[in-house]
């Protein structure tokens, strides 16, 4: 049965639950079975339900192929608890379901859950309200490297034109003045520009359905952008918030296995004990790394994890992860680096008898990364989907977005420059908007996007964590997408070969035969 993509919006997890139960009731085959010498109509065994539902979830674009059979059993247990199914005696309300031949049927009542009403703390926070005037500063949007849509340009142009017309109509005295920005002003600029970019990436008319404005802490965004190591990992000033030393040592041991363990006395099963030490620490945390308050936001980002929207999902997750408290972002960065390296390490011994390393990483740490404060029936499946994507794209998602930093710096620089001060009836008014032509806008947009793409290429070239095979693969993909920029960086095959330490192949000169001298036939 063809799946339908549940687009971002409020209470997406509940909508997904309703979607899965609807498909299950409509498509699960029922037939006649015999049990205890009796014939039972319109029912199915637990194993049949597990087989069918497992295939449905794996083929559903909202969940992906990472869904395991054990997770399917857990979901069927939720179905029994919530009266989506019942046994032949009409019993339900427990999670007593196993992979066996016990018979179940569908109840006559509908299992569809009602979508809750909007949370009273979630007030309207549309894009227009973000562009507010406070302390003489008018916040105007800075567009990202993504090409703005036509209506976005028209809206911004109309706002600027209205202010310019008002300036021309009003009469008063004008003097030059430079604005001094406080720390609070700078933090607010970081927050506003981040929200503007996020709203445009998600293509939502408002962020009110996925994010409570009170949850935004601009100081976290600012810290996560400016306090990083050369590898982009957050550096904490307060070391008490950092991972314990023994956990860091264990994670380093697993991430670099077996390179840093040759000098240590190990024993059979040593790597399993080290892994269990790391897993126990993360499983003991009081809340997930993405925090309870951002659960709805990240669940909505999951709606963008479609093949044609991967780039959009990466950009959205890149901004959302900046909202996290710095200790959480650092833990997430180090965890993703460790499990990604472990899953790709062919020398890593088998850590589980029944599943591979990648599946083990996802199943172990999913709920450490994403879950709801109040248990949601699809938590485990949604977390699995997100962690799988984070593992594959963590280098892009958890790096500092250069375009955002440039936009904030340009905006601050503009606000601190000299502007016109208008005095009307003894009241001062500041105008910090400057109209530019369409040509200037296109030139600025092109220059910003080109610079971001060049930075992306340099990050691939200078990333020491990438192996030769992975670097060549990424560079080949980059060359296909941006051939001109790639050609300017590597104008010759020798320059490209120098990056990998390869010697350019030189064809051997063909054997040159001396031309025979012919004697004259004349005597």
pLDDT at 121: 40
CA pair distance 306, 385, nearest whole angstrom? 11
Report the predicted TM-score, pTM, of the whole model to 2 decimal places.
0.68
Tokens 């003991």 belong to which residue?
A: 284
**10-residue mean pLDDT series, the chain (523 residues):** 65 88 93 87 95 93 86 93 92 92 89 65 40 38 39 43 43 51 90 91 82 88 94 93 95 88 71 95 96 92 84 94 97 97 92 92 95 88 93 94 91 75 53 67 77 84 82 86 85 78 54 55 51
pLDDT at 116: 65
pLDDT at 469: 84
pLDDT at 203: 83
pLDDT at 267: 84
pLDDT at 472: 85
Is 314 exposed, middle or buried, given 0-12, 13-18 or 19+ CB atoms closer than 10 A? Answer: middle
pLDDT at 390: 95
The set of residues, in sequence order, having a beta carbon less than 8 Å from that of 151 and lying 6+ positions away, is none
Would you give the DSSP letter of residue 321? Answer: G
Start-to-end CA distance of the chain, whole Å, equals 96
pLDDT at 505: 52
Domains of the chain: 12-105 (1.10.10.10), 229-399 (1.10.555.10)
Long-range contacts of 447-452 (CB under 8 A, 24+ apart): 448/145, 448/403, 448/406, 449/145, 449/147, 449/403, 450/485, 451/402, 451/406, 452/145, 452/402, 452/403
- Whether the link from the prior residue into 258 is cis, omega within 30° of 0, is yes
Tokens 């860091």 belong to which residue?
A: 248
**SS3 state of residue 89:** coil
pLDDT at 84: 94
The 3-class SS string of 290-314 reads CCCCCHHHHHHHHHHCCHHHHHHHH
């Amino acid at each position: 049965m063809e799946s339908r993509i549940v687009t971002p919006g409020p209470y997406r997890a509940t909508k997904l639950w309703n979607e899965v139960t609807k498909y299950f009731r409509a498509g699960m085959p029922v037939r006649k079975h015999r049990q205890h010498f009796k014939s039972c109509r319109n029912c199915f065994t637990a194993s049949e339900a597990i087989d069918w539902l497992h295939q449905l979830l794996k083929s559903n674009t909202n969940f992906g192929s990472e869904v395991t059979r054990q997770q399917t059993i857990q979901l069927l247990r939720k179905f029994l608890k919530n009266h989506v199914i019942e046994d032949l005696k009409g019993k339900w309300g427990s999670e007593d379901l196993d992979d066996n031949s016990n018979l179940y049927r569908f109840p006559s009542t509908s299992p569809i859950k009602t979508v809750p009403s909007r949370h009273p703390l979630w007030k309207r926070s549309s894009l227009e309200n973000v562009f507010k005037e406070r302390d003489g500063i008018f916040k105007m949007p800075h567009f990202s490297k993504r090409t703005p849509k036509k209506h976005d340009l028209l809206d911004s142009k109309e706002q600027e034109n209205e202010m310019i017309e008002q300036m021309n109509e009003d009469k008063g005295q004008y003097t030059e003045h430079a604005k001094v920005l406080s720390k609070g002003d700078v933090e607010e600029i970081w927050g506003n520009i981040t929200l503007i970019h996020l709203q445009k990436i998600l293509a939502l008319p408002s962020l009110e359905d996925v994010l409570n404005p009170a949850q935004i802490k601009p100081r976290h965004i600012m810290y996560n952008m400016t306090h990083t190591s050369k590898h982009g990992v957050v550096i904490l000033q307060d070391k008490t918030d950092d991972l314990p030393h023994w956990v860091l040592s264990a994670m380093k041991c697993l991430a670099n296995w077996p390179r840093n363990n040759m000098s240590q006395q190990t024993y059979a099963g040593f790597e399993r004990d080290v892994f269990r030490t790391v897993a126990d620490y993360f499983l003991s945390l009081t809340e997930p790394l993405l925090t309870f308050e951002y659960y709805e936001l990240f669940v909505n980002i999951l709606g963008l994890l479609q093949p044609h929207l991967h780039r959009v999902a990466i950009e959205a997750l890149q901004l959302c992860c900046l909202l996290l408290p710095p200790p959480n972002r650092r833990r997430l960065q180090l965890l993703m680096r460790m499990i990604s390296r472990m899953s790709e390490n062919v020398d890593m011994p088998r850590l589980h008898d029944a599943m591979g390393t990648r599946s083990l990483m996802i199943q172990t740490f999913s709920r450490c990364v994403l879950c709801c404060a109040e248990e949601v029936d699809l938590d485990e499946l949604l977390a699995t989907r997100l962690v799988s994507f984070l593992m594959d794209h963590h280098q892009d998602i958890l790096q500092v977005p250069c375009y955002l930093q440039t936009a904030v710096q340009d905006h601050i620089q503009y606000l601190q420059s000299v502007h016109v001060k208008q005095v009307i009836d003894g009241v001062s008014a500041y105008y910090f908007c400057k109209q530019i032509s369409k040509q200037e806008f296109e030139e600025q947009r092109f220059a910003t996007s080109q610079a971001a793409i060049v930075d992306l290429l340099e990050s691939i070239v200078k990333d020491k964590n990438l192996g030769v095979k992975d670097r060549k693969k990424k560079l080949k993909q980059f060359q296909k997408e941006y051939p001109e920029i790639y050609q300017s960086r590597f104008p010759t095959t020798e320059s490209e070969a120098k990056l990998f330490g390869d010697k350019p192949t030189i064809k051997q000169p063909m054997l040159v035969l001396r031309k025979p001298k012919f004697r004259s036939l004349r005597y």
